[in-house]
Amino acid sequence: MTSESKPPFPPFTLETATKKVKAAQDAWNTKNPEVVQFAYTPDSIWRNRDTFLQGRDEIVKFLRNKWGVENGYRLRKELFAFTDNKIAVQFWYEWYDESGQWWRTYGLEDWTFADNGLMRKRQMSGNDVRISDDERWFKDGVDVNSVDISEKHW
């Protein structure tokens, strides 16, 4: 049996918590559930809005379905707060539905990590806001980290 780990490890500092957040952002922006799953413990517990999951198999299935519906998905995550083994994240992502309507999802997540740096618990709350193509922040070719998101969106 191999020992899995994913640095940085708790306890977190401002620097290591920020690295963890941006690594998650980058992984999710691949839209590859088979890659994303390895940031989580094999028995990781999730609440995503009103959906409750446990384990990598359920996470992969959930993400396949999510990214099958949320076309053009582009995500930005920012560190909100942290303690020894917990990180809170604020996020925004944009996507369009099957009719071509664009949406921006605003939300917060709280994460709890195992000592090996894998996430053992993830809770997400989010709200979807209809936007026009002109209102999009994360258009093709734009670095999501370079977008100036004003305080009214925080």
pLDDT tens-digit readout, 113-124: 999 999 999 999
Kind plus residue range of the DSSP H or E element containing 67: helix 56-69
> Distance between CA 39 and CA 117 in Å, rounded?
8
Give the pLDDT of residue 152.
78
Average pLDDT of span 24-52: 98
pLDDT band for position 153 (cuts 50, 70, 90) = confident
| End-to-end Cα spacing for the chain | 43
Buried (b) or exposed (e) across 130-140, using 16+ Cβ within 10 A? eeeeeebbbee
Give the pLDDT of residue 2.
55
Instruction: Flag whether pLDDT at 58 surpasses 50.
Output: yes
Q: Give the single-character DSSP code of 150.
A: -
Instruction: Flag whether pLDDT at 154 surpasses 80.
Output: no
> Distance between CA 74 and CA 51 in Å, rounded?
21
Range of weakest confidence among 1-5, 63-67, 83-87:
1-5
Beta pairing class for 40-48 and 119-131: parallel
Instruction: Flag whether pLDDT at 103 surpasses 80.
Output: yes
Give the pLDDT of residue 1.
42
Cβ-contact 56, 68 below 8 angstroms: no
